[in-house]
Amino acid sequence: MSARLAAQGGGAARLAVDIGGTFTDVAVEQGERRWTGKVLTTPQAPELGVLEGVKLVLEKAGLAPADIALVIHGTTLATNAVIERKGAKTALLTTEGFRDVLALGNESRYDQYDLNIELPQPLVPRRWRLPVTERLDNTGKVLLPLDEAAVARHVAFMRAEGIEAVAIGFLHAFVNPAHEKQAAAILQRLWPEVPVSLSSEVSPEMREWERFSTTAANAYVQPLMASYLKRLEVGLREGGLACPVFMMLSGGGLTTLETARRFPIRLVESGPAGGAIFSAHVAKQRGLTEVLSFDMGGTTAKVCLIDQYQPQASRTFEVARVGRFKKGSGLPLRIPVIEMVEIGAGGGSLAAVDSMGRITVGPESAGADPGPACYGRGGAKPAVTDANLALGRYDPEHFAGGALRLYPERSRDALVAEVGGRLGLSAEMAALGVVEMVDENMANAARVHAIESGKGFEGRTIIAFGGGGPVHGYRVAEKIGVKRLLVPSGAGVGSAIGFLRAPVAYEVVRSLYQRFASFDVGAVNALLTEMSREAAAVVAKGAFGARTVEGRLAYMRYVGQGHEIAVKLPARDLTAADVQAIRAAYDAEYIKFYDRPVPGSDVEILSFAVTVATEVPAVEPAAEVEAAPAPAPIRQQQVRDTTTGEVTEWAVYDRAAMAPGAVVAGPCIVAEAETSTLVGRGWSCRMDGLGYLDLTQESA
């Protein structure tokens, strides 16, 4: 087994399954070959869709279940349970006096002007938020001992209420978990069968709302995920797949089923994480050290900066936003995630005109049903897809490989009714406005993401995938000043392919307050060693002896400042000599973000992160290919340019007919079954040796 895993391929086949809201995607790889498939997700029993998809792809590949050496799985099941409120009846044992931390949040509204605002409701209602007398101070010193009798009384109440999962969240437990452990021991003794989540284990970081929210969410999805994972394991085994199953984590690593059962909340963003890893791998194949991953689907677009083939790590995430895509309208989760921005901009996003006569796009979406007006399924509102069609970017006879017939006149009617008529614009110019606006929104999201990451776009390449990425990519690139765009193959199942590239990994985060003026090397080393051991133990269960690498970070800021910056630490015991170097590294990072350092300020560390991961095998950069002749266009389309408003003939090429090394000049369209790549005016597009489309903008 270890040899197979370490080789990442070889003779053994590996299979990845990504359960999304609509489709379950499956990808199988054996050596250099890959097969993919899509089946509909089966929400009632998701394992059924998985098993069906696996069967389908194995047949395609001509492989037997026994040929599969490893299954890697990601699912939105935990996310959906939180969104649809279908998790366990969960109770929270918490510090007396702080029963309402989950309800009060940060006492603010995410929308300043909406009097009818809805706030996200806590997963645990007040009646099940049960106070226990106990209190620690900020150093972990006991101010009030734990009232053990109260815990026992609550057990009786919880059983009577039919509680199915328990979260324990006490103030300052991330500094000293003793009281949480003591309470858990009582539960274990009196009620051994109930699953218990401790805030000091699920999310051991400062900030009680975020920590309790994460812990409650973990408890809330735990029974459901445990039962699903059991059924999946059994189903796969009965289907002849006796190999290990690994789960994709939100942070971009893989973990064992056992860890997934303990901390199921860490699985919530696995699909998008797979997409980011897919991009990182494509970047590595092409030796691109600075890229922007751009995944535009039916309802949302996700952008993510990837430097040195590493997606950025973050520890804050919101799930189940009630104000669509509005920051602050979801439940906060503090878990390792890949940093990305998701906005309501996709092919199905609906266009309208606001009271100021401005075109707006999204976040409302036409969804799959009725879909955009041009689907002819009763949708009367114009979606982005309608606008693309009205601009002449799609051929109604050849959409989705001819699988779906489009009705251009319905797009035009909808565009006139909802947008053009109100602004005195023709259907075509309304369409132009809609597409420019959605491109602008995505470009703005990318800009904000870059600002928040302290990065720029100069010299960056966009990697575009999803149904809409290749269509909108070049214009978004122009708007943010990016001059190169890569459209990989397999873009329709990017997340599943990404799973196949992920290392077995685990991240542990702990808070330990340190000031540089009084840095306690011994205490920091003791903590980092313990964290390293913990992460290594989790990874060892799935690494099968593969070599591992360790990364250590400190989250630092000027004393009193708000946001922390992650600074790399050496993966070994620190010495007194390291302290100045770390401080200098902080200053350098700070200047990267904000230009000017702040004189005279001490620096503090709030928390540390240790990640242990199996080594990802080196990727051979793709070989350069000889120039090849351009294929003949398969047809010409009348396309309106969104920059000039002019209509001209754009040649359409068949992607499958382009030989490696072939170059076509924009404006043109490179069509394939799943999507079309638009090559704007001033751009050229070359097919590379990997079958990827490599678009570059000639300098003006």
Partner 1 sequence: MKETGALATIQRQIQWNRLIAVVEEQAQTMIRTAFSTTVREAGDLSAGIFDLQGRMLAQAVTGTPGHVNSMAESVGHFLAKFPAAGMQPGDHYITNDPWLGTGHLHDLTVVTPAFRRGKIVGLFANTAHIIDIGGLGMGPEGRSVFEEGLYIPIVKCFDRNVPNETFFDFIRAGSRTPVELEGDIYSLCACNDAGAKRLVEMLDEFDMDSIDPLAEYIFESSLRATIEEIRKLPRGTFRAQIRSDGYEAPVTLNAAMTIEEERIVVDYAGTSGLSTRGINVPPAYCRAYSCFGIKCVVAPEIPNNWASLSPFQMEIPEGCILNAPWPYPVSVRHVVGQLLPDLMMGCLHQAVPGRVNAEGASALWNPPLRGGSQVSGQAAEVEDFEIITFNSGGTGARPEKDGLDGIAFPSGVRTMPVEATENVAPVIFWKKELRPDSAGAGKTRGGFGQVMEIGTKGEAEFAVNAIFDRVANPPKGRDGGGEGAAGWVGLNDANGTPLRTKGFQIVPKGRRLLLKLPGGGGMGDPKARDPELVRRDVVDGLITRAAAKEIYGVEV
- The verdict on 62 binding partner 1 (CB under 8 A) reads no
Q: Give Cα 642 to chain centroid, integer Å.
A: 30
Applying CB under 8 A, among 85, 126, 159, 568 the residue interacting with partner 1 is 126
Instruction: Work out whether strand 290-296 and strand 461-465 pair parallel, antiparallel, or are unpaired.
Output: parallel
HSE on the CB side for 130, CA within 13 Å? 21
Q: Does 114 bind partner 1 (CB under 8 A)?
A: yes
Cα–Cα nearest to 57, from 5, 107, 15, 112: 15
Strands (E), 3-97: 13-19, 23-30, 33-40, 68-75, 90-95
Determine, following the binding rule CB under 8 A, whether residue 422 of this chain makes contact with partner 1. Answer: no
Q: Does 358 bind partner 1 (CB under 8 A)?
A: yes
Q: DSSP alpha helices (H): ranges in 323-407? A: 384-390
Q: Given candidates 308, 518, 547, 596, which one binds partner 1 under the rule CB under 8 A?
A: 596
476 binds partner 1 (CB under 8 A): no
C-beta of 34 vs 422, nearer to partner 1: 422
User: How far is 563 from 620, CA to CA, in rounded Å?
Assistant: 38
Could you give the CA distance from residue 199 to residue 214 in angstroms, rounded to a whole number? 8
Is residue 112 at the binding interface for partner 1, with CB under 8 A as the rule? yes
Token pair of 247, please? 């789960």
User: Is the Cβ of residue 36 or residue 312 nearer to partner 1 in the bound state?
Assistant: 312
- Residue 102 or 504 with smaller CB distance to partner 1: 102
**Nearer to partner 1 by C-beta: 72 or 130?**
130
C-alpha dihedral (74, 256, 490, 314), degrees to nearest 10: 70
Give the footprint of partner 1 on residues 650-679 (CB under 8 A): none
Residue with tokens 């214009």: 475
Subset of 544-573 contacting partner 1 (CB under 8 A): 558-563
State the DSSP code for 21.
Answer: S
Minimum Å gap between C-beta 509 and partner 1 is: 15
- 127 is an interface residue for partner 1 by CB under 8 A: yes
Instruction: Report yes or no: 500 and 72 within 8 Å, Cβ to Cβ.
Output: yes
Using CB under 8 A as the binding rule, whether residue 135 contacts partner 1 is answered as yes
How far apart are CB 377 and partner 1 at their closest, in Å? Answer: 29
Provide the residue count of the chain: 700
The residues in 143-182 that bind partner 1, with binding defined as CB under 8 A, are: 143, 171-172
Single out the segment in contact with partner 1 by CB under 8 A; choices: 95-103, 243-251, 492-500, 515-523.
95-103
Q: Which of 32, 193, 354, 624 binds partner 1 (CB under 8 A)?
A: 354
The interface with partner 1 within residues 443-472 (CB under 8 A) comprises 444, 447-448, 451-452
Longest CA–CA separation in the chain, Å: 82
d(CA 311, CA 273): 9
**Among 135-143, 235-243, 370-378, 499-507, the segment contacting partner 1 (CB under 8 A):** 135-143
The span of 10-18, 528-536, 594-602, 627-635 binding partner 1 (CB under 8 A) equals 594-602
CB of 592 to partner 1, least distance (A): 13
Residue 109 sits in the site that holds partner 1 (CB under 8 A): yes
Residues 194-253 within binding reach of partner 1 (CB under 8 A): 206-210
Q: Does 437 bind partner 1 (CB under 8 A)?
A: yes
- Closest alpha carbon to 79 in 119, 129, 43, 127: 43
Closest approach of partner 1 to the CB of residue 151, in Å: 19
Cα 658 from Cα 629, distance rounded (Å) = 9
Task: Classify residue 628 by its DSSP letter.
Answer: B
Taking the C-alpha atoms of residue 655 and residue 401, their distance in angstroms, rounded to an integer, is 12
